[in-house]
Amino acid sequence: MNKTVKKIMFFTPYYSQSRGNSTTAKRIEAGLRQEGYHVSVFAYDESAWSASSQQMLDEADIVHILHFGRFMEWQQMYSVKLDKPYVITSGGTDVNHSLQSEDSGKYHDFLLNAVAVIVFSLDARQTLISVLPELEKKIKIIPQGVYLPDTGVSQTLELPAGSPRFLLPAGLRSVKDIFFAIRPLLQLRSEYKDLTLLIIGAKLDEDIYHRLTLIQKKLPWIHYHPAVELSQMPEVYKWSDVVINTSISEGQPTSLLEAMSFQKPVLGRNNGGNRSIIDHQENGFIFCDSDDFFHYAKVLLSNKNAAEQMGEKGEAYVKKHHDIQQEIFLYDKIYQTKGEQR
């Protein structure tokens, strides 16, 4: 097809720092490039706006914005004029925090003027509609794909010994609630003496990092590793036995999708993002409290066949519903529909 829209200006809060937004940005960028688009990426919380940045915006056919709350704050601070058609991809912070704030009305016009507002799940769509019913026709659900690039660079990570191995991929910030799993895992260690927990992610909150280091001194089976490149994460997933998500709120956890793609059983806290990918007791477990976590973790550790079957179902689910080519096809369709209307 001869594309009427060819040049995309992609705004993301983060690109260099390893966190959820950068993973999403890199995945969509790679997919769009493979589809033949020219993509210019600007990380507005990491980079300074310049004349060359403005030129990229001027030359774009359409703008793609990741995280509307942060983008609007940045845009107003630097008085960047947006006179191009734009698509918004809304993550967990937008839906669970920005739109729940007392001054959420300031986002309404910006959302209503978008070509489309993309969310990852039905739960997020319903939340948006409850806040802004007029937006309903513009909201599209595009589940996230899985993207773990192979850079060809082999660098072995130093990962902890012990078994069974629990993995918590999460940046150190309050919403991730990384300390939640410690109590039920302590209970499990009464039976599984060599159990180990690895928390891997960016050090985003110094207070949480300090608290974690103090806990590690008392509980040396808890390990922390700074964030690694996406291309190194397959090694981490292969190391693990169970992958967990303890976030208080979540958009859609790419870490659990990635884990599923490696046939790893997953445990996810009861939030909209985790529920959007976990079919409870089929391709993973949803826990509501510490007792749930302990119970479901015990099931996985005591029944190897059940854990393997859950991992296989997780992989099948990801292949069917979270294929990156399907994700990019849907974005392409939105871009080109707008292009045909110009």
At 94, the pLDDT band (50, 70, 90 cuts) reads low
Whether residues 169 and 314 share a domain: the answer is yes
Instruction: Kindly write down the DSSP assignment for every residue of 45-104, as one continuous string.
Output: TTS---HHHHHHHHH-SEEEEE-HHHHHHHHHHHT----S-EEEE--HHHHHTGGGSTTG
- Based on the fold, state whether residues 93 and 192 are members of the same structural domain: no
Whether 266 has a pLDDT exceeding 90, the answer reads yes
Q: Once rounded to an integer, what is the mean pLDDT over residues 309-334?
A: 96
Distances (CA, A) of 273 to 74, 152, 248, 249, 261: 26, 32, 10, 7, 17
Residue 2 lies in a domain: no
Residue 152 lies in a domain: no
Same domain for 84 and 173, yes or no, is no
By residue count, the chain amounts to 342
Same domain, 310 and 331: no
Query: Which H helix or E strand runs over 330?
Result: helix 324-341
The CATH number for 273's domain is: 3.40.50.2000
**When comparing pLDDT for 69 and 140, which is higher?**
140
Rounded to whole angstroms, the Cα distance separating 268 from 123 reads 16
- Residue range 200-223: average pLDDT? 97
Name which residue leads in pLDDT, 105 or 13. 13
Among residues 56, 60, 37, which one has the least CA distance to residue 47?
56
Contacts of 341 (CB under 8 A, 6+ apart): none
Backbone angles phi, psi at 206, to 5 degrees: -65, -35
Kindly give the residue spans of alpha helices, DSSP state H, lying in 202-323.
206-218, 233-239, 254-261, 272-275, 290-302, 304-321
- State the pLDDT at residue 150: 76
What pTM, to 2 d.p., does this model score?
0.91
pLDDT band at residue 151 using 50, 70 and 90 as cut-offs: low
Q: What is the pLDDT of residue 131?
A: 87
Within-domain flag for 124: yes
pLDDT higher than threshold 70 for residue 98: no
Asked whether residue 186 is assigned to any structural domain, the reply reads yes
pLDDT at position 105 over 60? yes
Predicted local distance difference test score (pLDDT) of residue 74: 95
Residues 186 and 293 in one domain: yes
Same-domain check for residues 301 and 195? yes
Q: What confidence tens digit (pLDDT) does each residue in 30-88 have? A: 999 999 999 999 999 999 999 999 999 999 999 999 999 899 999 999 999 999 999 99
Domain tally, the chain: 2
Q: Please give the structure tokens belonging to residue 253.
A: 């956890």
Do the domain assignments include residue 151? Answer: no
Q: How far, rounded to the nearest angstrom, does the alpha carbon of residue 4 sit from its chain's CA centroid?
A: 30
Rounded to an integer, the average pLDDT of 127-138 is 92
Whether residues 41 and 92 fall in one domain: yes
Domain with 88 in it: 7-145+323-341
Phi and psi angles of residue 255, each rounded to the nearest 5 degrees, phi first: -60, -40
Other beta carbons less than 10 A from residue 188's beta carbon: 19
pLDDT of residue 95: 66
Q: Is residue 150 part of a domain?
A: no
The phi, psi pair for 60, rounded to 5°, reads -75, 145
| DSSP-assigned letters across all residues of 169-211 | E--SSGGG-TTTTHHHHHHHHTT-TT-EEEEES----HHHHHH
Mean pLDDT of 127-154: 88
Clarify whether residues 139 and 173 are in a common domain. Answer: no
94 lies in the same domain as 170: no
Q: Give the mean model confidence (pLDDT) for residues 111-129.
A: 92
What band does 124 get if pLDDT is binned at 50, 70 and 90? confident
| 242 and 332 share one domain | no
- pLDDT, position 251: 84
For the record, the structure tokens of 264 come out as: 């790893």
- How much is the pLDDT for 100? 65
- Asked whether residue 240 is assigned to any structural domain, the reply reads yes
Q: What band does 93 get if pLDDT is binned at 50, 70 and 90?
A: low
Whether residue 270 sits in one domain with residue 179: yes
Q: Is 185 in the same domain as 84?
A: no
Q: Would you state the pLDDT for residue 92? A: 67
| Residue 160 in domain | no
Residue 83 neighbours by CB distance under 10 Å: 8
